[in-house]
Structure 1
Amino acid sequence: MTGLLQTFIVEDDPEQLATLKQIVTNHIMINDFDMALTLATGTAQNLVDHISTQPDVEGLYFLDIEYPGQALNGLELASKIRELDVNAKIVFVSTHAEMAFLTFERRIEPLDFIVKDLGQAAVKAKVEKDIRIAYERYNKQGVASKAMFSYSKGGQLFNLPLAEVLFIETGTSRNKLLLHLVDRIVQYNGKISDETVAHPELFRVHKSFLVNPQMLVRVNKQQQLGYFANGETIDIAIRKMHDLLALIKQSQLPVKLN
């Protein structure tokens, strides 16, 4: 899968935060996983502020249940993460084993709930196992999500490799879309807002354009234009340029910037 699986830790105890950071960074390094510890903080709001600025963040999150004196507790933080990162892999590391059932009540769908009282060795083993599971699922998820693109025309469903898709453009007629492929253009019925939700691997760069970032070859920041290998271009809204550039950097895409 293109890009890193980002890892985040929110633990208000400085000693336990340092321990978790060491476990995570060591396990990533030893196994040479395509991962990074992006943020380790003692404040829940710091994490919300960070991922709110990331357009397509996908992460592994280690959280506590309680953050005394803070505006957000662990369950509230996890709910916000789930809103911002639909594929989030959330692991609770807490002394409050009795709170585990609330994660199901809140529909948080955690990957794991690790009880700190198990002891340092057991916690370390469980954290390392969760890292491996999250990394495996992330890669499988990437293969599945980026493999194919689907659209419907004339009551028939069409599937094609995502690598053939350049961008989707609103047509001149209401509820008509133009699908720009590497070698042709297809018109079909639809709304670009619906396609944005249906195809999260594409990025909305303008009210009229939904682009496949993998197929961009150049972005001109001054002229607010994106270029493709076949010579086609798209307009990029000023307010979307920053997010697009962040996505290109985060995903390590070979896009020329000028």
Structure 2
Amino acid sequence: MSGLLKTFVVEDDPEQLATLKQIINNHIMINDFDMCLTLATGEAQALLDEVNAHPDSEGLYFLDIDYPGQALNGLELASKIREQDVNAKIVFVSTHAEMAFLTFERRIEPLDFIVKDLGQAAVKEKVEKDIRIAYERYTKQGVSSKAMFSYSKGGQLFNLPLSQVLFIETGMSRNKLVLHLVDRIVQYNGKISDETVAHPELFRVHKSFLVNPNMLVRVDKQAQLGYFENGETIDIAIRKMHDLLALIKQAQLPVKLN
């Protein structure tokens, strides 16, 4: 998992805002979840500003449908959140049950739609359940994304433990990549720039090489080479050497340096 799951609330009724804050904070504390209530506000724009300022954050968002007198309504806010936070867990808490279908029409994909008219006890139960579901998905999502490597070949998707990946290099043909695994080599279609984005655990040491730092056993600074346990090597660009060494030191990786 990449850290705290941030939780946000936008509710323009002060009494209902205070109630939601209390429910959320209490449930997080009682369950000792690795979460925090980052922002609870009555202003839709305040949340959008927060999301835009931290575009790489993942969050759980409790929103209303209607914010009278404000430039953004809940559906517009949710759509803008989804643009920035593709993994957003969005929960609508509203009296406007008839608007639920619009969340599907706009491809918002909410986690839940809670109708306030159900009563305070029922709303509390649903909010707590959504917190548990969101947290479970967040933790599973973090583990799987960091522990696994995925690639596509022949129209089929392959998933394997990241610990099997040594490095990726550009192939001889255009848009071909060569994946070096602990026990085999696989060629597939792709761009190394795309893989750099898709797999942030890997490090771009050269325009042609993307390495799994955890699998390096030795780095020769003078020869500008990285070594793996199976004897394979990769070139390390001069401008990338400093950053790689800093990463190795920061992560305290057992890599021999000479």
The TM-score, its normalising length taken from structure 2, stands at 0.69
Q: Provide the residue aligned with 1:115 in structure 2.
A: 115
What's the secondary structure of 1:90's corresponding residue?
A: strand
Q: Which has the higher contact order (CA 8 A, sep 6+)?
A: 1
CA contact (8 A) 1:3 1:34 kept: yes
SS of aligned partner of 2:16: helix
Structure 2 portions without partners, runs of 5+: 215-225, 229-233, 253-258
Which residue number in structure 1 is paired with residue 41 of structure 2?
41
* Change beyond 3 A, Cα 1:30–1:178: same
User: How many Å separate the matches in 2 of 1:6 and 1:190?
Assistant: 33
Identity of aligned residues (%): 76
What pairs with 1:1-258 in structure 2 (closer than 5 Å)?
Answer: 1-151=1-151, 159-163=159-163, 175=175, 189-195=189-195, 199=198, 202=201, 255=251
The answer on whether the counterparts of 2:209 and 2:235 sit within 8 Å (CA) in structure 1 is: no
Secondary structure, counterpart of 1:78 in structure 2: helix
Cα deviation for residue 130 of structure 1 reads 0.8
Q: Distance in 2 between matches of 1:200 and 1:35?
A: 24
Contact map agreement 1:167 1:209 (CA 8 A) in 2: no
How many pairs does the alignment contain?
230
CA distance in 1, matches of 2:209, 2:59: 24
- CA offset at residue 79 of structure 1? 0.9
Structure 1 alignment gaps of length 5 or more: 216-227, 242-247, 249-253
Q: Aligned-residue CA RMSD in angstroms?
A: 4.1
Letter in 1 for 2:61: Y
- Going from structure 1 to structure 2, the CA distance change for 1:85 and 1:15 (only over 3 Å counts) comes to same
Alignment CA distance shift 1:3-1:70 (3 Å): same
Distance 1:95 1:68 in 2: 13
Q: Which protein is bigger by CA-based radius of gyration? A: 2
**Separation (CA, whole Å) in 1 of partners of 2:118 and 2:213:** 44
Alpha-carbon distance between aligned partners in 2 of 1:77 and 1:108, rounded to the nearest angstrom:
10
Question: Do 2:41 and 2:47's aligned partners in 1 also have CA atoms closer than 8 Å?
Answer: yes
Instruction: Tell me by how many angstroms 1:141 deviates.
Output: 2.3
Amino acid at match of 1:130: D
Q: Which residue identity does 1:18 align to in structure 2?
A: A
